[in-house]
Amino acid sequence: MKRSTGLPYRCVLADCLGNTTERVVEGRHGLAGASRASGEYEGDRRGPPHVIVRANSSARRIAADVIKFGISTPLSGPAAPWGIPHKNATELIFDEVNSQGGLDVGGKKYKLEVIAYDHKYVIAEGVATINRLISKDGVKYISVLGGAVVKANEEPVNEAGVLNLPLAYAEGLVSPKNPLTFHSFPSPPETTVFWKWIKERHPQIKRVATISPNDDTGWWSIKIETTYVEKLGYQIAAKEFFERGLTDFNPILLRMLAQKPDIISVMASPAGSVGLIIKQARELGFKGRFIHVGQVDTSVVANIAGKANVEGMWVHGYVQSPLPEKVKAWQAKYTKKYGEWNATSIDFTNPAFAFVAAVKKAQSLDPKKIADALHSVEFENLWGKAHFGGKDFYGIANQIIYPMPFSEVKDGVATLVAQLTPPHN
């Protein structure tokens, strides 16, 4: 029985010998070696039942030497420009940790492994993939992208005691009833602060129209955003929702544009939809600006809408230039591994950075202890120092806080124009 040497077989044999500390038996002996060490008949590969049980039990221990981190994200469809960098960024950070020997927890090194599934931004697929991560893959730490998907999975995630570091907008997601959910991307209550920046610099903008997906993510985003901008003195000219997957926005836009907005907010809408909204609004004669204080890849948007149509758009969480040195280094690593740079990955590194920092601090693999550590740990992300806070607003300090980047599309490039901290800490 020829199998490669390596950690798994070392564990098998250590277990079979009943020695949990001495891990020196060569792995090439494999299961036959395990049987021999147990005094069982070497030639019978199937082996007596108890040998198999030991092997399986060892397999569970093997799994314990690897920290499995589950990702449920859209890897296809209109929201894939979010999901692909979400997965890639997490993998790249874990690669780095693994290349340094792994994560040290209680004097033992653990490798980090990503198990990722595509939920296509479909709730049913999201439920299926998260069930699979928890029940079949035995994952205890996950990162889910998509507010509607995270909301649909609140109960199973809480019941299983799984630590969740989502990238998602939804009302009640960050709340005391979800103590193990740590939202790892700035949400509308944080990013609406950019409207204040706009108000100060562009006082001619007075009427705001919003268009957002017709689901948990869209409803909450628009509720927070419109409440905030009204307090700032803006008039809400129109508030529209669309079904994800819609391609013909003409009737909705016609209704919106009849209200003569100065700016259209496309908050929470994925890149594919934003591209079509901008293209069709321009065709109908809209000359104002667009803003996305969620996050969107403006290069994907420009591919669909046309470069000229996207000019002047404001966006949070997507920067192409100028990049700080730390982000440039990340860009080089990302490009080297994946062949193509994706600026969305910059802010989507947060779940992995937070997780690694918290496990290091907790020195435990218990999701509750890691959660406790997340409440107090301060860590570096690509924009500076980050921590989890927002207790005054959410009732629990489970929202990531850091200096958020804000860009304006100039000559087709998302150019950093401001970095602001959220209104709450």
Partner 1 sequence: MTASLLVQSAVIGLSIGSIYILMALGLTLMFGMMHIINFAHGAVYMLGAYVIYYVFFQSGAPYFVSFVVAMVLLGVFGYLVERSIYRPVKGGIEPTLVALLALTTFLQAAGYPVFGQLDKHVPPVFEGTKNVLGVMVSVERLVIIPIAAALVVGLYLFINKTKMGAAMRAIEQDKEAAALQGVNVHVVNGLAFAIGFALAAASGALMAPIFKLDPMMGEQPLLKAFIIIILGGLGSIPGAIVGGLMLGLIDSIVATALGAEPAFLLSFVFIILVLLFKPTGLFGYAQ
Q: Rule CB under 8 A: which residues touch partner 1?
A: 75-78, 80-81, 84, 214, 240-243, 245-248, 250-252, 254-255, 258, 271-272, 275-276, 280, 283-285, 300, 303-304, 306
| Residue among 300 and 362 whose Cβ is closer to partner 1 | 300
Cα separation, 422 vs 425, whole angstroms: 7
Least separation in angstroms between CB 410 and partner 1: 22
Residue with tokens 């601090």: 361
Cα separation, 253 vs 91, whole angstroms: 39
| Residue among 198 and 236 whose Cβ is closer to partner 1 | 236
Least separation in angstroms between CB 386 and partner 1: 29
Least separation in angstroms between CB 418 and partner 1: 29
| Residue among 3 and 132 whose Cβ is closer to partner 1 | 132
Least separation in angstroms between CB 248 and partner 1: 6
| Residue among 185 and 242 whose Cβ is closer to partner 1 | 242
| Residue among 125 and 137 whose Cβ is closer to partner 1 | 125
Least separation in angstroms between CB 164 and partner 1: 24
Least separation in angstroms between CB 206 and partner 1: 22
Phi-psi region of 384 (alpha: psi -120 to 50; beta: other; left: phi over 0): left
Q: What does the longest C-alpha to C-alpha distance in the chain come to?
A: 85
| Residue among 250 and 321 whose Cβ is closer to partner 1 | 250
| Residue among 197 and 241 whose Cβ is closer to partner 1 | 241
Least separation in angstroms between CB 253 and partner 1: 9
Least separation in angstroms between CB 336 and partner 1: 20
Radius of gyration of the chain (CA): 24
| Residue among 78 and 188 whose Cβ is closer to partner 1 | 78
Least separation in angstroms between CB 258 and partner 1: 5
| Residue among 19 and 76 whose Cβ is closer to partner 1 | 76
Nearest Cα to Cα of residue 337 among 91, 57, 152? 91
